[in-house]
A and B are shown apart, each in its own frame.
Chain A
Amino acid sequence: MTISPVDLLAAGAAMCAVWMCGVGGLTPLLRLLGVQTALSAVMAAVLGATFGLPHYYVLALVVFAVKAVAIPVYLSHAATQLQLRRDDGVLTPTALPLFLGCGILIAGYFLAPRIAVPTMGYTGAAGMALALLLTGMLIMVTRRLALSQVIGFLVLENGIFLYSLTQTHGMPLVIEMGIIFDVLIAVLVAGVVIFRLNRSFEHIDVTQLRGLRH
């Protein structure tokens, strides 16, 4: 397997995601999310340079501006408003998600040849994209606060973005923009819902939402 800069960037993004599994504080969590998204934005730019596709630069710029800066800033604003600092998760051994994340990373590495598109040549990146997707899922499952579920969703979305970017020639710019816009709206809506949750229950702990069933 040849290691290209694209593979390296993808691995960096996946590392960030695994790191996020073990982080409790919301501010470092959001920073890591920003870094991870910024890495994928850089990757878009690198791919644009490699294939000579100028619209990838635009994509990279928008991804950076919206997903790496605007969304984390908005979420950290929400955290400050709600006076939230930490989310230590639902599992009692707090390091367990970190280990699970490592397992996912290893699984991604070994599964990479089977899910990658061989003609594209970015086999490693495919595995890392898969790892990102599953890690995002893991973050959503193991966290306590509704805000962290939004973060997990964004990691998952990054995984899908990475896969589509490296394994296909990318989607047309219009569609990519549409997806980014969708994510932005989803995060805004989730923010509103979180604020409302907080107002109704004075907390946003989803483990305590079980009672709503009755």
Chain B
Amino acid sequence: MSLPDLSGGYAPLWCGAALFAWGLVAILGCCARRAVSFLHPLLTGLGSLVLLYLALTGGTASFALPLPFFLGDAGLAFTIDPLSRWFLGIIGLIGCALAGFTPGYLAHLRTRLSLGFVWAALCVLLISMSGVVLAGNAISFLVCWELMALSSFVLVAADHEQQAIRKAALIYLGATRVGTAFLMGGFLVMHSLTGSWTFADWHVSGAVALLPAVLIFIGLATKAGCWPFHLWLPIAHPAAPAPVSAVMSGVMLKTAIYAMVRLFVLGDHLTHPALGPFILILGAISALWGVLFALLQHDLKRLLAYHSVENIGIILMGIGVALVARQYHLALLAQVGLAAALFHTLNHAVFKSLLFFGTGAIDAQTHQRDVEHLGGLIHRMPWTAAAFITGSAAICALPPFNGFASEWLLYSGFFGLATTGATVGLRLGALLLMGWLALVGALALACFVKAIGVVFLGLPRSKAAESAREAGRGMVAAQVLLAVLCAAFGIAVPALLRPLSAITAPLNAGAALAPVWTLPIPLLAALLVALVGGASLLMHTLATRQPTRRYITWECGFGTLGPRTQYSATSFAQPISRLFGSLYRYAVAIRVHGTRRRHFPDAIDAGATHEPYLETRVYRPLLRNLQRVAGMLLMRLQAGSIHQYLFYIALVLLLLLWVGCR
């Protein structure tokens, strides 16, 4: 980097500057809840730029706040190292795009939401996420983690006048509560094992590490949306405004990945031999589960939420590869696995935010997120369409975009395990997972072909889609920025491998990653562009040289061709869904109305149903029973009698006395 190095003393100052800018928006938003001005996006963008600058240039530093900001045993302490800088960079990047996109998007909601308040919560979310990735001890981490959960809850519930949204927000709140409870439990066990809250002092391995590792993993997996804790993702994302979904899916889920990398992979803080295979298998299940359910969705945001489950699964597979390889002393593979996970974290942040922005732009213009009511938008919203298609290509891991680059790294990790693995089981497992990942990629491709085909191509399926206009300048600019980044990160891989080497070096005795990357991506990209360009030019010239005749399409004598004669999303996904039908009891029901008119019925309906087993068979009965037991217990405990309450206080007093005197 040509930018001046700001290592050491200045890093806290830059953090303070970002905090100041975002904090100002938060205060501004809380003071004037409804009014928004150019100041809100400007300050948000400035704070993000400062953080991005810090991420690109800052060295390593650690700092603690002075005495009044002290929490129990440990102070508010923060450290900046290459790993936290990587995540700070992601926050800064998405923050910048957010500042461009949000004003235009929120404009169409201004009668329903308190816009100033949304900006305030958004900035608190950005502050707390930066706090999470900077936290140097468990207490600071938990404080920021909770602030993050609460501010994102406020954002999910922004449009709280609709009951569905209130319910979604409540489910999200419940999920984060449970996750934090597990996380706290894990941190408490770690504290009792090591006697310290500081992450740097935590070194636990062997059998005792199992309990805290499992507790912490469940806590983090609930936030990350890993199977089987992904329940809240497809519920909360459709409820939240699009920029909020973009931040939550793009960045907030990644804070859990950050914590996993920090605690499980780097620095030997918490090691257990079972952890690697466990994470690898859960990641693999998440990836397939997410993409299979995404195929069935009609709501664009729900579809993207399930794709977050898929991508978190892919990232977890990278972490799993790193852990397994480290266990078998395959240092280079461990480094490659971790690099793949971290690279995919960045890439997912970029293309998932881009896709959510695209969905938001469509939603803002058509007030419609159901793909069955859209169509033909490529002519009406060309910029959004181009950006969305770029993002889709990236998420499907098509070269030369960034998703391909990180998944390629992951494939090479699997390939390495398959060739150099110590045991037959390991080699076989790696081969299997390679095929699994390919299957996931293919299904993702099918899913996005469906989404793009139904949303952007063909004829509009509703009045709203027919009268859609291109989104505002800010919205388009943010999307184009992210789309360009998708391509840039895919082509300029060696430049990104440099910071990744700095992060992952401890796993491989300080070696650099660059030699691992042998694929000449720029050359391939140029070849691809030349090929596609040449082919289209050829076809164009061939087409214009021949005399052309324009005529209506023959419709087999059924009547006029209209929007309803097009492929629908359900029909496109049906063959694949049927293939995996036993996983979610997929069924297509065709109902004929007016059967007495044998060959000329009044109407024919066709619809597909599916049953998410995890929700209907596990979570719902569990929650119902929990509610019943809690209801009975609470009725007894909270009887409304003051004497009873006083008696509880007396009991606690006696208990404390007994504990003290023992």
Which A residues have a C-beta under 8 Å from some C-beta of B?
90, 111, 114-115, 130, 133-134, 137-138, 140-142, 149, 206-207, 209-213
Contacts and interface: CB of A to CB of B under 8 A. Distances in A.
B646 A140 contact: yes
Interface stretch (B128-136, B410-418, B432-440, B637-645): B637-645
Interface string B634-655: 0000111111001101100110
A162 B359 CA distance: 68
B13 interface: no
Q: Interface on chain B toward A: helix, strand, loop, or mixed SS?
A: helix
A12 B282 CA distance: 68
Contacts of B657: 111, 115, 130
B642 A206 contact: yes
Which of A114, A140, A211 is the most central at the interface, judged by chain B CB atoms within 10 Å of its CB? A140
B643 A141 contact: yes
A210 B641 contact: yes
A147 B643 CA distance: 14
B661 interface: yes
A141 B646 contact: yes
Interface string B603-644: 000000000000000000000000000000000001111110
A141 B650 contact: yes
Contacts of B661: 111, 114-115
A137 B641 contact: no
Contact of A137 (B638, B639, B640, B649): B649
B648 to A, nearest CB: 10
Contacts of B639: 210, 213
B3 to A, nearest CB: 54
B660 interface: yes
A210 B647 contact: no
Contacts of B649: 137
A138 B643 contact: no
A138 B641 contact: no
A213 B653 contact: no
A141 B647 contact: yes
Contact of A207 (B638, B643, B650, B660): B643
A134 B638 CA distance: 23
A94 B578 CA distance: 76
A138 B650 contact: yes
Given A130-B657, A137-B650, A137-B653, 18 more contacts: A111-B661, A114-B661, A134-B650, A134-B654, A137-B646, A138-B650, A140-B650, A141-B646, A141-B650, A142-B643, A149-B646, A206-B643, A207-B642, A207-B643, A210-B639, A210-B640, A212-B640, A213-B638
21 contacts: A111-B657, A111-B661, A133-B653, A134-B650, A134-B654, A137-B646, A137-B649, A141-B643, A141-B646, A141-B647, A142-B643, A149-B642, A149-B646, A207-B641, A207-B642, A209-B640, A209-B641, A209-B642, A210-B639, A210-B640, A210-B641
Contacts of B638: 213
A138 B651 CA distance: 11
Nearest to A138: B650
B653 A134 contact: yes
Contacts of B640: 209-213
Contacts of A206: 642-643
Nearest to B638: A213
Nearest to B653: A137
A38 to B, nearest CB: 26
Nearest to A90: B643
B492 to A, nearest CB: 64
A210 B645 CA distance: 11
A210 B639 CA distance: 7
Which of A133, A137, A211 is the most central at the interface, judged by chain B CB atoms within 10 Å of its CB? A137
Nearest to B642: A206
Nearest to A130: B657
A137 B640 CA distance: 18
Contacts of A211: 640
B296 to A, nearest CB: 45
Nearest to B658: A111
Contacts of A134: 650, 653-654
A115 B660 contact: yes
Nearest to A156: B653
Interface string B283-319: 0000000000000000000000000000000000000
Contacts of A138: 650
Nearest to B645: A141
Contacts of B653: 133-134, 137
A207 B644 CA distance: 10
List the 8 shortest-distance A-B pairs measured between CB atoms, nearest first. Answer: A213-B640, A210-B640, A137-B650, A206-B642, A114-B661, A141-B646, A140-B646, A141-B647
